[in-house]
Chain A
Amino acid sequence: MNDCASLDVGHVTKRFGGLVAVKDISLNVKAGEILGLIGPNGSGKSTVMKLIMGIVRPDAGSVRISGQEVAGLPSYKIARMGVGIVFQHSRPLHRQTVLENIKLALLPDKLTRLFADPGIEARVRAIAERVGLSAVLDRLPSTLPFADLRKIEIAKAIARDPKVLLIDEPFAGLTQQETAAFSQLIAELRDDGRAILLVDHNVKSVARLVDRVLAMYVGEQIAEGSAEQVMGDETVRRVYLGGSIETAARPESAFSDAATPFLEVEKLSVHYGKAQALEDVSIHVHAGEFVSVVGLNGAGKTTLFNAISGLLPYVGEIRQQGHALRGLSAARVARNGIVQAPEGRELFVDMTVRENLDLGAHHLAPDESATQIEWLFELFPILRERQGQAAGTLSGGEQQMLTIARALMMKPKLLILDEPTLGLAPIILEQISHIIETLRRTTSISMLLGEQNVTFALPHADRVYVLEHARIVWEGPPNRFAAEAGRGYL
Chain B
Amino acid sequence: MLKSQTLRILLIGLAVVVAASFLPLGVSGYVLGLLTVAYYFGVFSMAWDLLFGFAGEVNFGPTFLIGTGAYTAGILDNLYGLPIWVCVLAGTLAAVVGGLILALPALRVRGPYFGLTTLVAVLMLQNFIVVDAGLTGGEIGLTVPDVLTISEVVNYQIALWFMAVSGAILFALSRSPVGLILQASGQDDVQAGALGFNVTKHKLFAFIISAFFSGLAGALLVFYFGSASIGTLIDVTVGVQIIIAAVLGGRRTILGAVLGAVFLIAMSEVLRPLGDLSNFTVFALALVVVLVFPNGFFGLLTRHKESV
Are A and B co-members of a single complex? yes
A-B Cβ contacts below 8 A, count: 80
Name the residue among A104, A109, A111 with the largest chain B CB count within 10 angstroms: A111
What residues of chain A lie closer than 8 Å to B201, measured between beta carbons?
109, 111
Q: With A93-B187, A114-B173, A114-B178 given, is the CB distance from A109 to B198 under 8 Å?
A: yes
* Chain B facing A: main interface SS: helix
Number of A residues with CB within 8 Å of any CB on chain B: 32
Residue-wise, chain A 265-307 has the 8 Å CB interface mask toward B (1 for contact) of: 0000000000000000000000000000000000000000000
A116: min CB distance to chain B, Å: 5
Contact yes or no, A76 B184, CB < 8 A: no
- A-chain residues with CB within 8 Å of residue B1 when the two chains form the complex: 97, 138
- Decide yes or no whether B109 CB sits under 8 A from chain A: no
Chain B residue nearest to A137 in the complex (CB): B1
Shortest Cβ gap from A50 to chain B (Å): 9
Tell me whether B132 is interfacial, beta carbon within 8 Å.
no
- Once A91-B187, A93-B183, A97-B2 are accepted as A-B contacts, the answer to whether A107 and B193 lie under 8 Å apart by CB is no
B195 at the interface (CB under 8 A from A): yes
Name the B residues within 8 Å of A84 (CB-CB). 194
Q: Are B181 and A109 in contact (CB under 8 A)?
A: yes
Decide if A107 touches B2 in the complex (CB within 8 Å). Answer: no
Q: Are A74 and B188 in contact (CB under 8 A)?
A: no
User: Is there contact, CB below 8 Å, between B197 and A109?
Assistant: yes
Question: Cβ of B193 and Cβ of A74 under 8 Å apart?
Answer: yes
Determine which of A55, A107, A113 lies in contact with B194 in the assembled complex, contact meaning CB atoms within 8 Å. Answer: A55
Q: Which of B172, B177, B193, B306 makes the CB contact (< 8 A) with A75?
A: B193
- Given A97-B1, A109-B181, A115-B176, is A104 in contact with B195 using a C-beta cutoff of 8 Å? yes
Q: A71-109 interface mask toward B, CB cutoff 8 Å, 1 = contact, 0 = none?
A: 000111001100011010001010111001001110101
Contact B190 A55 (CB under 8 A): yes
User: Is B196 at the interface (CB under 8 A from chain A)?
Assistant: yes
* A114 adjacent to B177 (CB under 8 Å): yes
B199 within 8 A of A: yes
A137 CB to closest chain B CB, in angstroms?
10
Min CB gap B197→A, angstroms: 5
On whether the beta carbons of B205 and A79 are closer than 8 Å, the reply is no
Contact of A160 with B by CB under 8 A: yes
* Chain A residues near B194 (CB-CB < 8 A): 53, 55, 75-76, 79, 84-85, 87
Q: In the complex, what's the smallest C-beta–C-beta distance from B207 to chain A, in angstroms? A: 12
When distances are taken between beta carbons in the complex, the residues of chain B under 8 Å from A87 are 191, 194
With A91-B187, A138-B1: A96-B180 Cβ-Cβ less than 8 Å:
yes
Q: Chain A interface (Cβ within 8 Å of chain B)?
A: 53-55, 74-76, 79-80, 84-85, 87, 91, 93, 95-97, 100, 103-105, 107, 109, 111, 113-116, 138, 140, 156, 159-160
Closest 7 CB pairs of A and B: A79-B196, A75-B193, A114-B176, A107-B177, A80-B196, A76-B193, A85-B194
